[in-house]
Amino acid sequence: MNNLTAGWSRPISWGCSSDRETLTCQYPVRMVMTDEDGTGVSPSCEPTVSNETMAELVERPIDEELELFSALANETRLRILQIVDAADGEVCGCELKPHLDVGQSSISQSMSRLQKAGLLTRRKDGRWRYYDTTPKATQLLGAVEPEPPTVG
């Protein structure tokens, strides 16, 4: 196991007093445990992710994931996605207006945002636009849909 040292998140002079074993403060402080190279570790567990994997995860671009989750973080867009996914085929944006408490322009903007995030496909036919879900959307909705109640 690594040799750990304890440090305090604020200098003692900021309203704290200390003897060798006790720290007393006027406000909450966070204790930080560090190993020999100064990296923070939890005092009660061993690392479960290698440094290489951690660096790879922290440094890789996540723009697509941010766009995806941002697109889902809106009630209108999520409801539109659920409705289109439940449909037996493509859905025209005009079909949604009577069922949602938002204007047609908001529906159109929401569907464009979902398409940009890779969750809807769009087909133009004259002045009409028809939308369908992508496999990614169906997979995401399946992961977050609540389980049906069990009868028992």
Stretch 69-88: mean pLDDT: 92
- End-to-end CA distance of the chain, in Å? 50
With cut-offs at 50, 70 and 90, classify the pLDDT of residue 116: very high
CA distance 137 to 72: 10
Q: What is the mean pLDDT of the chain?
A: 78
Q: What domains are there in the chain, each with its CATH number? A: 1-44 (no CATH), 64-144 (1.10.10.10)
3-state secondary structure of 101: coil
pTM over 0.95: no
Spell out a b/e string for 75-97, using b for 16 or more CB atoms within 10 Å of the CB, else e. ebbbbbbebbbeeeebbebeebe
What band does 11 get if pLDDT is binned at 50, 70 and 90? very low
pLDDT of residue 80: 95
pLDDT digits (tens, 9 = 90+) for 134-145: 999 999 998 887
Q: What is the pLDDT of residues 17-44, one digit of tens each?
A: 555 555 555 555 555 555 666 666 555 6
